[in-house]
């Protein structure tokens, strides 16, 4: 029986800027010196973020969506390529052996798609299967990983999942809306790839669970406007997460004869300090259980779908053996995955 296994992880991040530099160099002026905006930036749990488009030197807030998409296309291909190359090297897998390339992104569109452009630049098999996963937002890495794992189990061939997000191209026009200030204080660019193989050493992909609360569909939105993509974010999101996370996690662990005490690595998507606090409360975990997620938020910001893979890589470096990954996004949707170290 084939056991899909995460055998390699690759990370690619653009240049970093400190949260203070971004505030003083751009957002202080952008938000008209708002004391509320200053507090939000200071309390976002972020020390630095990565941007392909640094607003201090390049203000895109008034640009059209077409201009933003052209910039996205120019920047995302080399970033995604670097992440995939690093993941393949980490796994010890040749590019030509890959049978499926799945790409998750919600921050841009280009045709030919990122999957096609990467397959060309990496000289992947012309018979490669491809899968594009769009507009799932911050939780997209986990359904993407589930699809890739299913392919590996069925075909016995290695596969790659790439998550690539560039929120920096969507800086919005000046506003006093709190949800816009919050999103501008949190989001960051990056790419992360995983190589999944039929067995071997790494993290065995054990299973997944999902929950969507359609009554809260208006709590998190990602709207295409004439000035890029606009985030809608309700302050009620942490409450919904706190309500649903324990049933999701217990269902997933229980299906494999495990309980919360068996998990030594919690790879929870750090959507913000309030998200992590609600998750810890809902799961009855000590605050320290989510220290790795907090560290990723401090060092990298919220990179949308990329972020949970950044947490996974940090847990791998720390030697975690049983990992519960969970991420959250529009729907509101919660997605969880169980990974266990093998080999």
Taking residue 3's Cβ as centre, other Cβ atoms within 10 Å add up to 17
Same domain, 147 and 245: no
Q: Do 236 and 336 belong together in one domain?
A: yes
Write down which residue in 156, 185, 202 finishes a domain: 202
- In this structure, the answer to whether residues 247 and 302 fall within a common structural domain is yes
Percentage above 90 pLDDT, the chain: 95
In a shared domain, residues 227 and 85:
no
Q: Could you identify the residue written with the tokens 């969506």?
A: 65
pLDDT, mean of residues 255-267: 97
- Per-residue pLDDT band for 5 (boundaries 50, 70, 90) equals very high
Q: Considering the entire predicted model, what is its pTM?
A: 0.96
User: Which SS3 state, helix, strand or coil, does residue 110 take?
Assistant: coil
Domain total in the chain: 2
The domain boundary, picked from 202, 232, 255, lies at 202
51-55, 77-81, 192-196, 232-236 — which is least confidently predicted?
232-236
Provide the pLDDT for residue 315.
98
- What are the tens digits of pLDDT across the range 176-185? 999 999 999 9
Residue 1 has pLDDT above 90, yes or no: no
Contacts of 209 (CB under 8 A, 6+ apart): 248, 249, 251, 252, 255, 335, 336
- Choose among 191, 184, 201: nearest CA to 272: 184
Same domain as 142, residue 24 = yes
Closest CA to 191 of 75, 298, 44, 66: 75
Burial (CB < 10 A; 0-12, 13-18, 19+), residue 288, is exposed
Give φ, ψ of 338 to 5 degrees. -110, 125
d(CA 280, CA 140): 21
How many angstroms separate the CA atoms of 33 and 265, rounded?
40
Please confirm, yes or no, whether 138 is among the known catalytic residues: yes
pLDDT at 300: 98
Q: What is the mean pLDDT of residues 289-295?
A: 97
Range 285-313 average pLDDT: 97
Is there a single domain that holds both residue 153 and residue 56? yes
Angle at 190 between CA 26 and CA 11, to 5 degrees: 145
Map residue 220 onto helix, strand or coil: strand
Q: What is the number of other CB atoms lying within 10 angstroms of the CB of residue 316?
A: 19
In this structure, the answer to whether residues 14 and 115 fall within a common structural domain is yes
Residues 222 and 197 reside in one and the same domain: no
CATH of the domain at 287: 3.40.47.10
Among residues 106, 138, 163, 303, the one annotated as catalytic is 138
Question: Residue 135 — pLDDT band, cuts 50, 70, 90?
Answer: confident
Average pLDDT of the chain? Answer: 96
Nearest one of 212, 216, 213, 201 to 321, comparing CA atoms: 201
Q: What pLDDT, on a 0 to 100 scale, did the predictor assign at position 343?
A: 87
185 and 225 share a domain? no
Please say which residue of 202, 236, 258 terminates a domain: 202
Residues 209 and 171 in one domain: no
In a shared domain, residues 180 and 309: no
Strand partners, 16: 50
195-218 pLDDT, tens digit per residue, is 999 999 999 999 999 999 999 999
Range of the domain at 130: 4-202
Tell me which residue of 3, 10, 49, 86 sits closest to 316, measured CA to CA: 10
Q: Pick from 122, 108, 33: which is nearest to 73 by CA? A: 108
Q: What is the pLDDT of residues 55-112, one digit of tens each?
A: 999 999 999 999 999 999 999 999 999 999 999 999 999 999 999 999 999 999 999 9
Q: Which of 70-84, 116-130, 313-327 comes out lowest in average pLDDT?
A: 116-130
Residue 12: band (very low, low, confident or very high) from pLDDT cuts 50, 70, 90: very high
Q: Tokens standing for 197? A: 């193989």
Q: Are residues 244 and 108 in the same domain?
A: no
pLDDT(140) > 90 = yes
- Helices 237-254 and 273-283: angle between axes, nearest 10 degrees: 50
Q: pLDDT confidence of 188, banded at 50, 70, 90? A: very high
């Amino acid at each position: 029986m084939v056991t899909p296994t995460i055998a390699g992880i690759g990370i690619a991040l653009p240049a970093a800027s400190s949260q203070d530099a971004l505030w003083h160099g751009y957002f202080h002026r952008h938000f008209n010196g708002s004391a509320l905006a200053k507090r939000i930036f200071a309390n976002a749990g972020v020390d630095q973020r990565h941007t392909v488009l640094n607003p201090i030197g390049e203000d895109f807030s008034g640009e059209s969506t077409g201009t933003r998409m052209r910039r996205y296309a120019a920047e995302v291909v080399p970033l995604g390529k670097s992440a995939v190359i690093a993941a393949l090297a980490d796994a010890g897998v040749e590019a030509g052996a890959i049978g499926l390339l799945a790409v998750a992104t919600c921050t841009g569109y280009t045709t030919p798609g990122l999957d096609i452009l990467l397959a060309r630049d990496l000289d992947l098999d012309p018979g490669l299967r491809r899968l594009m996963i769009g507009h799932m937002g911050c939780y997209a890495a986990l359904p993407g990983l589930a699809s890739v794992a299913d392919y590996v189990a069925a075909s016995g061939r290695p596969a790659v999942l790439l998550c690539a997000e560039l929120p920096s191209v969507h800086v919005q026009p000046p506003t006093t809306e709190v949800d816009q200030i919050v999103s501008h204080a949190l989001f960051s660019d990056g790419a992360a790839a995983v190589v999944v193989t039929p067995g071997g050493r790494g993290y065995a992909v054990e299973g997944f669970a999902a929950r969507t609360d359609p009554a809260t569909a208006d709590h998190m939105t990602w709207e295409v406007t004439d000035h890029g993509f606009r985030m809608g974010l309700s302050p009620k999101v942490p409450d919904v997460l706190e309500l649903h996370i324990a049933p999701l996690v217990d269902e997933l662990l229980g299906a494999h004869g495990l309980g919360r005490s068996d998990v030594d690595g919690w790879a929870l998507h750090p959507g913000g300090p309030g998200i992590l606090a609600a998750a810890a409360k809902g799961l009855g975990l000590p605050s320290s259980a989510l220290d790795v997620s907090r560290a990723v938020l401090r060092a990298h910001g919220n990179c949308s779908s990329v972020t949970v893979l950044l947490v996974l890589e940090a847990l791998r470096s720390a030697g975690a053996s049983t990992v519960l990954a969970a991420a959250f996004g529009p729907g509101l949707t919660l997605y969880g995955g169980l990974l266990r170290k093998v080999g």
